[in-house]
Amino acid sequence: MTTEAMPLASNKALQRKLVVFACFLVTALTLIPVVMMILVAFQSDAESMAAKPSFWPSSWHPENLTRAFELVPLGKYLLNTIYFAAGTTILETVTAALAAYAFARLQFPGRTWLFGIYLATLMIPSQVTLIPQFVLVAKLHGIDTWPGMILPHAFTAIGVFLLRQFFLGIPRDYEEAARLDGANRWQAFVRVIVPLAVPAIATLAVFKFIGQWNNLLWPLVISNSDATRTASVGLQVFQDTNGTQWNLLLMAATVTTIPLIVLFFLTQRWFVRGITMSGLGGR
């Protein structure tokens, strides 16, 4: 792939065609698993569970959709996933923006060491805090409740860190102009900083939301009934109870994945921006 992507060939037109062909080829290969997930979801029971798997459905069974919803409450799981992802995202984004503003702009005793504590936890993998968080939530009778699901994952250091970086890059003059007009800190934050920081805040929110939508380990240990069960855990339960009824299993997988794919296409501007922003951070 690399070699044909390099400007080696003398014939530019041929080279251009090869590049386009290669783009289509790799894209098609990449999409095969997603396409197969949807195709098998519409196969009949017999076809999807035959010893020799079939690829294109010989007959289409849209009723698999309602059957999957009857086997497990997929709608409830999706709603729960939205609660969980939106709850952690909103809490983290709002509190992080406030704290990041103070760390970026305000002088107060202890600022350096307090920010140091935030930074120190940035590298610690979530598995280290998994057991203490579980013990804490269990002691507070938070197992299988929304506060127990959401709170432990809404106060990570990454949000404060990223937004502080962004706020530092906003020229002070903008804010000082507002302050000369008599705005206090809160008004300067709400009217000047937040509107300017919309790209960074949106990026953080999209990343957090998609990350939590995908989170398996935490809901797996905290939620133990349909009341809080998210799509990831619900699918795992589906697999346990219904084995390899491929058409319904992959229908459930399709149903839980498509909202995320739609969301991804709607927000991909922020998503791509977030990836590149983190990748080239500070440059």
Rule CB under 8 A: choose which of 152, 203, 205, 270 binds another protein: 152
Scanning residues 49 to 68, which ones bind another protein (CB under 8 A)? Answer: 51-53, 55
**C-beta of 149: minimal distance to another protein in Å?**
12
Of 211, 214, 217, 210, whose CA–CA distance to 128 is shortest?
Answer: 217
72 binds another protein (CB under 8 A): no
H or E element in which residue 266 lies: helix 246-279
**C-beta of 62: minimal distance to another protein in Å?**
19
Q: Measured from the CB atom, is 66 or 214 closer to another protein?
A: 214
210 binds another protein (CB under 8 A): yes
Which whole-number Å values give the CA distances from 48 to 59, 67, 70, 208, 246, in the listed order? Answer: 11, 15, 19, 36, 6
Scanning residues 109 to 138, which ones bind another protein (CB under 8 A)? Answer: 109, 111, 114, 116-136, 138
Residue 13 CB burial class (10 angstroms; 0-12, 13-18, ≥19): exposed
Scanning residues 180 to 209, which ones bind another protein (CB under 8 A)? Answer: 185-186, 189
DSSP code per residue over 133-180: HHHHHHHTT-TTSHHHHHGGGS--HHHHHHHHHHHHTS-HHHHHHHHH
169 binds another protein (CB under 8 A): yes
Q: Measured from the CB atom, is 145 or 236 closer to another protein?
A: 236
Scanning residues 243 to 282, which ones bind another protein (CB under 8 A)? Answer: 244, 246, 249-250, 252-254, 256-257, 260-261, 264-265, 268, 271-272, 275-276, 278-282
